[in-house]
Amino acid sequence: MKQIQTLLFVLLLLLSSVFYAQQDSIVAQREARTLVREGNKLYQKENYEDAAIAYRKALDKNSLYKKATYNLGNAMYQNKNFKEAVPQYELSVKTSKDKFEKADGYHNIGNAMLEQKQYQQAVDAYKNALRNDPTDDETRYNLAVAQQLLEKEKQDQKDDKNKDKDKNKDEDQKDKDKDQKDKDKDKDKDKDKDKDQKDKDDKGDEKKDDQKDPKKKDQKDKKEQQKPKQGQMSPEQIKQLLESLNNEEKKTQKKMNAQKAKGKKVKQEKDW
């Protein structure tokens, strides 16, 4: 009898705990619904930040409340928290069994991705929305916009790559031209060195020849002595100049004598 009484007591405790748990759950759900309604009122007044707070409190009461999750995503989206809104939409899509609700969730994911300029993710989201609701013309229009922006992004990336390639080609060509100039300079330096060395070698050969043949050296020295230095006259030139001066002097003397003869007055007889 005691064992039966004990079992009955345990069963009563379990039943009461289940009952109270259900009661708590019902209370929590009611409180969650109340908080969602408050959030909706704030949302309608465009007080999106306070609305998001109300939706969060509702989820604290009931974490599986799909409306609170979806509405929280909308409040975040309207408050321009696009990145934070996406996980809320994804959760609502995951937990929903209704195709139209899924379509709405994917549509809003596409909008949030579009705002973040993540065009490929936006295209994928809009396609998922149309798979669940092919009649949604707004989603179809947004999909077309996202596809155009995605194509433009790809074209811009392609153009940037081509610009980078052209820039790299120009830089490579500049480097090649610089290397070629450096090589040419080195060649010119080598030529100058070879020329200087040749001149030294030629002078060295002349000295050797002079040492081997002293006569040649003497003849060379005489020729160098006979050659008039710059600004000086050779003996032959001096001789010619003296003869020319003597001739000029003789001519000048003759002219002076002739002028003297003409200048003499002739005496005339007086007629008085």
Interval 102-109 mean pLDDT? 96
| Domain covering 22-95: architecture | Alpha Horseshoe (1.25)
Q: Is 269 left (phi over 0), alpha (psi -120 to 50) or beta?
A: beta
User: pTM of the full predicted structure?
Assistant: 0.55
Give the residue extent of every domain in the chain.
22-95, 98-166
The answer to whether the CB of 129 falls within 8 A of the CB of 92 is no
Checking if the pLDDT of 115 tops 90, the result is yes
CATH number of the domain located at residue range(s) 98-166 in this protein: 1.25.40.10
List of residues 6+ apart from 93 with CB closer than 8 A: 101, 102, 105, 106, 109
Residues 144-194: tens digit of each pLDDT: 999 999 999 999 998 888 887 777 777 878 888 887 888 778 777 777 777
Q: Among 86, 88, 61, 57, which residue's Cα sits nearest to residue 72?
A: 88
Checking if the pLDDT of 119 tops 80, the result is yes
Checking if the pLDDT of 6 tops 70, the result is no
Residues 202-245: tens digit of each pLDDT: 665 555 555 555 555 555 555 544 444 445 566 777 677 777 77
Interval 60-83 mean pLDDT? 95
Per-residue pLDDT band for 1 (boundaries 50, 70, 90) equals low
Orientation angle between helical segments 99-115 and 66-78, nearest 10 degrees: 20
Written as one letter, the residue type at 198 is K
CA distance 165 to 130: 40
pLDDT at 226: 45
In whole numbers, what is the pLDDT of the chain averaged over residues? 78
Per-residue pLDDT band for 46 (boundaries 50, 70, 90) equals very high
Whole-angstrom CA distances from 110 to 25, 170, 233 are 35, 42, 105
CA distance 205 to 35: 113
List of residues 6+ apart from 67 with CB closer than 8 A: 36
CA distance 39 to 71: 8
Per-residue pLDDT band for 268 (boundaries 50, 70, 90) equals very low
pLDDT at 247: 78
Instruction: Decide whether 22-95 matches 98-166 in CATH topology.
Output: yes
pLDDT at 270: 33
CA distance 172 to 174: 5
